[in-house]
Amino acid sequence: MPALVTGASGHIGSNLVKQLLDQGEKVRALIRKSSNTACLPDHKNLEIVYGDVYDRPSLVAAVTGMPFVYHTAAVYSLSRKNPGQILETAMQGTRNILEAVKVAGGVKRVVYTSSVAAVGMTDDPTRPLDESNWTADSDPDEYTRAKLESEKLAHSLAREFGIDLVAVNPALVLGALDLKPTPSNKVVLDFLQGKVPAYLETGFSAVSVEDVAAGHILAMQKGRSGERYILSGENVKLVDFFEILGKISGKKPPGIKLPRPLAIGMAAMFEFAAGITKSEPLATVQAMKSITNRYGFYSFARAGKELGYKPRSLDQTLRSTVEWFEKNPLT
């Protein structure tokens, strides 16, 4: 059945478009006119339309005639150049796309891309979080706040408008068709380029973008309306993550662990330098405070049981990620 994918030129969006086309589906890809379309194929079943999450008429036009909608459009950035932009885009984009679904009519289901940032982090690496958890940080970074508040808004509006909506919460997404790169893939790239001299006491769940795209489709097909599904992979401490990357790439992993106060101080310097160069900081103070001595460990048991979601191993994920960036070096 035909499907609309918003944010179709993004990392998750472009992989989702590819998988839908591979399955023989017709896809309408919503992108901005300024978007890089290099990761979108020239395919007879792909219709590219232009619009913006701030442009309601363009969203209504894009949704019209589409029984299924995947809303992946979002800002994923550590930049502090435009404070409030990430939250504003997430909230306004969520409201506008769901109002467009209501106005257009005929949409059978919306799959809404959230993040494990809305789930939170744990102080105990032996107790991974699940869908019952919502981040409870008193001072979250802007991306976390955006994902938390926009997902809650999506569920609320879906109930108000009578929309069948399922949310998915991807973890640290790695892999192909990423031209920016995203902050997640930049962790891998920085390691490969010898820019990671030390590590933090932290950990996360790394997952292949191909598995995340597949999880979106499974959520559309099998998810329970009003539910959320974590799309994660193996939980791994950062030091072990770099060890595995080192074995795959032949690069030496960092041997120095940064204590929390030093990590926060260095992040402050990164932010100061980024403000001068108008670039994206390597890390932010808020991020260092939120992740050091804490773990982004999650259970995908619900997605596994209800959707049939089966992510590949961390080794497979990292090997395919390294291979893609070696074949597609970013300049």
* CA–CA dist 7, 252 (Å, integer): 36
- Distance (Å, whole) CA 134 – CA 143: 14
Pair type for strands 109-113 and 198-199: unpaired
33 catalytic per annotation: no
CA distances from 210 to 77, 163, 248 (A): 21, 27, 20
Q: Which of 147, 186, 222, 305 is catalytic?
A: 147
**What tokens does 72 get?**
């992946």
Beta-bridge partner residues of 30: 6, 49
Q: Which two tokens stand for residue 3?
A: 């499907």
Give residues with Cβ within 8 angstroms of 71, minimum separation 6: 6, 7, 93, 94, 97, 110, 111, 112, 113
Active-site positions read 147
